[in-house]
Amino acid sequence: MDGNGRWAQRRGLPRAEGHRAGARSLRSIVEAAAAHRIGTLTVYAFSSDNWRRPRAEVAALMLLFRHYLTEEVEECLRKGVRLSAIGRRDRLPGFLTPLIEEAERRTRGGDRLHLRLALDYSAREAIVRAAAGARTREAFSQALGPDVDLLIRTAGERRLSDFLLWEAAYAELVFADELWPDFDAACLDRALQQFRSRERRFGGLTGYDEAWDASTAIA
């Protein structure tokens, strides 16, 4: 969800205003994603490297997450959205962890869309943790989460920035120029159109018919 800072800067506003606008954008994209029958939507809200930002910006973001978690639970329940968080919890401010747990508990039954907030998240760290706790590749994948089909990065950036590195092994990447606060339902539609136009081969070949090949080999 890149571009909040630039969005604010262009309007002569503090960066925190950009993040607030980003939260509004998230609300409308959650609704649009559910309408498109997307099963899981994972949003990168705070990376483990974001702790390096100015203390005031980090504090503003944490308060925004608190506000979101408090306000959005009822909305999620109404919309059938299951809310959960991925990432480390031990470094988040003490007021956030119980709110995350409560949101997860209350929205557990949501079956229309699973919204995952990546908070204090690092894919590399998640991979190391999953590898330490899993004996098989299946258990490892399960510890991380579902594979990503479509990964959208906004604001003209062209990086993965330590986001879902394992899960996105065969993800289709869409880069949008819109700043996140300007990313609306029409932008999501365009990203999905691009996704649908891609040919996904997962390393195989299209138009290759093994049965046909086998029969020619017999002949």
Active site residue 209: no
Determine which residue in the list 30, 65, 85, 148 makes contact with ligand FPP, applying CB under 6 A: 65
| Distance (Å, whole) CA 86 – CA 207 | 39
Question: Counting contacts by CB under 6 A, is residue 145 touching ligand FPP?
Answer: no
Distance set, CA 173 to CA 55, 123, 139, 167 (Å): 32, 17, 26, 13
Which of 50, 149, 162, 182 is catalytic? The answer is 50
> How many residues sit in the footprint of ligand FPP (CB under 6 A)?
18
Active site residue 4: no
Q: What is the DSSP secondary structure assignment for residue 148, as one 8-state letter? A: P
Stretch that binds ligand FPP, among 15-23, 97-105, 136-144, 187-195 (CB under 6 A): 15-23
User: Which residue lies nearer to ligand FPP by CB, 89 or 198?
Assistant: 89
Question: Counting contacts by CB under 6 A, is residue 50 touching ligand FPP?
Answer: yes
Distance set, CA 2 to CA 21, 78, 138, 206 (Å): 12, 28, 32, 35
User: Which residue lies nearer to ligand FPP by CB, 21 or 168?
Assistant: 21
Q: Check: CB of residue 4 under 8 Å from CB of residue 157.
A: no
Determine which residue in the list 16, 17, 23, 76 makes contact with ligand FPP, applying CB under 6 A: 23
Beta carbon of residue 98, minimum distance to ligand FPP (angstroms, whole number): 16
| Per-residue contact flags (x/-) with ligand FPP for residues 75 to 114, judged by CB under 6 A | ----------------------------------------
CB atoms within 10 A of CB 218: 6
Residue 115 backbone dihedrals phi, psi, to 5 degrees: -100, 120
Of 138, 77, 130, which is closest to residue 108 (Cα–Cα)? Answer: 77
Beta carbon of residue 216, minimum distance to ligand FPP (angstroms, whole number): 54
Under 8 Å CB-to-CB from 208, ≥6 apart: which residues? none
Question: Counting contacts by CB under 6 A, is residue 1 touching ligand FPP?
Answer: yes
Beta carbon of residue 7, minimum distance to ligand FPP (angstroms, whole number): 7
CA atoms within 13 A on the CB side of 86: 26
Dihedral, 24, 153, 93, 98 alpha carbons, nearest 10: 70
Task: Show which residues are catalytic.
Answer: 2, 50
Residues forming contacts to ligand FPP in the complex (CB under 6 A) are: 1-6, 19, 22-23, 26, 45, 50, 64-65, 68, 117, 155, 180
